[in-house]
Chains A and B, each alone.
Chain A
Amino acid sequence: MEWWIEPFLLGFQQRALIGGMVAAATCSVVGVWLVLRGMSFFGDAFVHGVLPGIAAGVIFGFSPFLGAAIAALVMVAGIELIHRQTSLKEDTAIGLLFVGMMALGVALISKSRSYTGSLTSILFGDIFGVDESTVVSMSVLGVIVVAGSLVLYRPLLALAFSSAKAQTLGMNPRFTHAALLVLIATAVIGSFQAVGTLLVFGLLVGPPATAALLARTVPQMFLTSVVLAAFAVWLGLTLSYHWGTAGSATMALVSIAVFFLTLTVRRTASWLAARPAQEVHA
């Protein structure tokens, strides 16, 4: 029993757990729409693309939230520019912006004195450095993201179905798509301090993808996703305490491991269910 309680005895450990839970709820809810829209690669690039904004904020002493928001805008504008000016596929545009922004971020940080320290904490998060004011700002952003994901339920479901259908149903797919980008950016900005820009994706896509294997409706998928993300945060922190591994990396690993575990269990279950029928045929 002590093995489970010990990792959360101290104040900073508890704040880490709370911060992780807020990040889990935020990312796993908007992540459902990310997965349903088939935008995982975009989300991945987007998450990493905000790096220079955060780096600039940390180095030049303005809010990293503001920096990340500007970087997100630059990223979307760049992708849109390539999309309009060339006939290249969207994933090429995303890839270009992805690596460009990431490189810019690393270059910016390398100019600062505490290169390795701040780079590591931005990329991989510093969940044990989460203080009360961070928890508050994370929670505010989290509420915005969760509320937005629910308010946009019908337009996003129609859009997940088909963009043209969404338009004929008066659901304004262009606005909905833009709003989803804003929500994803907000989730990343709210979570990067706890889980890092590189690993926030573990919570953004891992739990919703696992939930997609289990849920039969979108509301079920939301619930499953949140529960799985919270589980990943809690187990990840517990394991990282005992193994001495990095907190956010362990959480991301748990979230992906849970996906493969679920996949295996489901496959085995359907194989077992199908077996008697095959024997009858034979």
Chain B
Amino acid sequence: MNATPPFALGTGVTLGYGHQVALAASDFTIPAQGVTAIIGPNGSGKSTLLNALAGILPVMGGTLSVLGGPPGRRGVTSYVMQSPAFPTGTPITVGEAVAMGLYSDLGWFRRPRARDRARVQEAMERLDVTALAGRHLDELSGGQRQRVYVAQGITQRHQMLLLDEPLTGLDLVSMRTIDAIIHAERERGHGVVLTTHDLDEARAADWVLLTGGRVLAAGPPDEVLTREHVEKAYGLGALHPATTDLLDDPACPPHRPDSTPDMAHGNRPRGYGPRQPPQGMRRSPSRGLMLPWCGVFTLVR
């Protein structure tokens, strides 16, 4: 990972909207390969940071370089926003929405060639939305719509895929499908940066940024997701002298990198590393989303 330049290099990066600072001066590195998870409580600046990496939010202070240049260059990032609030009733089909990913390369006028259409087709197949191609976006379930947005994202030419809470609140099928895309992107040598509320998801990543009004820590999950850091991010340290070990919590099922999927305990396989063959249900959605709270509640107790 040291051979390639990092995806993002931030020095004193300050981000915000208007005069409101959302992320105070932060230093961080994000590698160009592998999966990077940005985790932190609500309003901690996760999505703000993603917006800056995608080049749609200019930095207020400091410098942020993306693959050695300014953010937002064509062909570098593809950004899947968290369920963009598109106006309902827009007569746009799934096929058109996915093909919109080609706009960055085609510009205003250039007609898609056979190769481009094949790209759209492949993206739809990988996200299992081909059968929905003629449907309208507002005729879909939340999970189906999220799959369409990810298909749009992978259709757009990119080296880094940015995903804002890609797995939050999804049905099991959509979660597994998008999870598989994250694995596949990683194996293709693309980088993935995602935001999450799920400590488990963050632990499975190759690199983690912990946010709490600024980037509190960045590095491999073992170094970042320490009890001390997480308490700081979630503001629990001062309230509760910790007597329980967050990472080895008796109230939560154990998560070990090499453990095999265990249906009975709702465990999920660990890591975004080389993909294991699917073995039944990979994770239960409610379980997955509750896990971080499991840890937090234990601390509170």
Give A residues with C-beta under 8 Å from B.
36-38, 151-155, 157-158, 160-162, 164-165, 167-171, 212, 215-218, 220-221
CB < 8 Å neighbour of A38 from B56, B72, B87, B103 = B87
Q: B196 at the A/B interface (Cβ < 8 Å)? A: no
The interface-forming segment of B91-99, B117-125, B238-246 is B91-99
Q: Is the CB of B91 within 8 A of A171?
A: no
Q: Is the CB of A218 within 8 A of B108?
A: no
CB distance from A178 to the nearest CB of B (A): 15
CB < 8 Å neighbour of B86 from A162, A170, A216, A218 = A162
Q: Is the CB of B108 within 8 A of A154?
A: yes
The 10 closest A-B pairs by CB, nearest first: A162-B84, A169-B103, A168-B79, A170-B104, A169-B104, A167-B56, A161-B86, A215-B91, A38-B87, A164-B56
Q: B90 at the A/B interface (Cβ < 8 Å)? A: yes
Q: Is the CB of B89 within 8 A of A212?
A: yes
Task: Report the Cα distance A109→B79, complex, angstroms.
Answer: 53
Interface pairs (24), CB distance under 8 Å: A36-B87, A38-B87, A153-B108, A160-B87, A160-B92, A161-B90, A162-B81, A162-B85, A164-B79, A164-B81, A164-B84, A167-B55, A168-B77, A168-B104, A168-B156, A169-B100, A169-B101, A169-B103, A169-B156, A170-B104, A170-B107, A212-B91, A216-B91, A220-B91
Q: Is the CB of A160 within 8 A of B55?
A: no
Task: Report the Cα distance A151→B108, complex, angstroms.
Answer: 7
Q: Is the CB of B97 within 8 A of A161?
A: yes
Q: B199 at the A/B interface (Cβ < 8 Å)? A: no
CB distance from A255 to the nearest CB of B (A): 19
- List chain B residues, Cβ under 8 A from A217: 91-93, 96
Task: Report the Cα distance A165→B54, complex, angstroms.
Answer: 10
Which of A37, A168, A217, A221 counts the most chain B CB atoms within 10 A?
A: A168
CB distance from B2 to the nearest CB of A (A): 29
CB distance from B116 to the nearest CB of A (A): 13
- List chain B residues, Cβ under 8 A from A37: 87
Which of B54, B56, B77, B81 counts the most chain A CB atoms within 10 A?
A: B56
- List chain A residues, Cβ under 8 A from B267: none
Contact with A along B135-152 (1 / 0, CB 8 A): 010000000000000000
Given the contacts A36-B90, A216-B93, A164 and B51 also touching, CB distance less than 8 Å: yes
Task: Report the Cα distance A158→B96, complex, angstroms.
Answer: 11
Q: B78 at the A/B interface (Cβ < 8 Å)? A: yes
Q: Is the CB of B103 within 8 A of A158?
A: yes
Task: Report the Cα distance A215→B92, complex, angstroms.
Answer: 10
Task: Report the Cα distance A241→B118, complex, angstroms.
Answer: 56
The residue in chain B whose Cβ has the minimal distance to the Cβ of A218 is B91
The residue in chain B whose Cβ has the minimal distance to the Cβ of A164 is B56
CB distance from A225 to the nearest CB of B (A): 11
Task: Report the Cα distance A36→B86, complex, angstroms.
Answer: 10
CB < 8 Å neighbour of B81 from A153, A154, A165, A216 = A165
- List chain A residues, Cβ under 8 A from B275: none
Q: B265 at the A/B interface (Cβ < 8 Å)? A: no
CB distance from B150 to the nearest CB of A (A): 13
Q: Known pairs A161-B84, A168-B54. 8 more at Cβ < 8 A?
A: A38-B87, A151-B109, A155-B108, A160-B87, A162-B81, A164-B79, A165-B79, A169-B156
CB distance from A274 to the nearest CB of B (A): 15
Chain B 28-78 interface residues, beta-carbon cutoff 8 Å to A: 51, 54-56, 72, 74, 77-78
CB distance from A150 to the nearest CB of B (A): 10
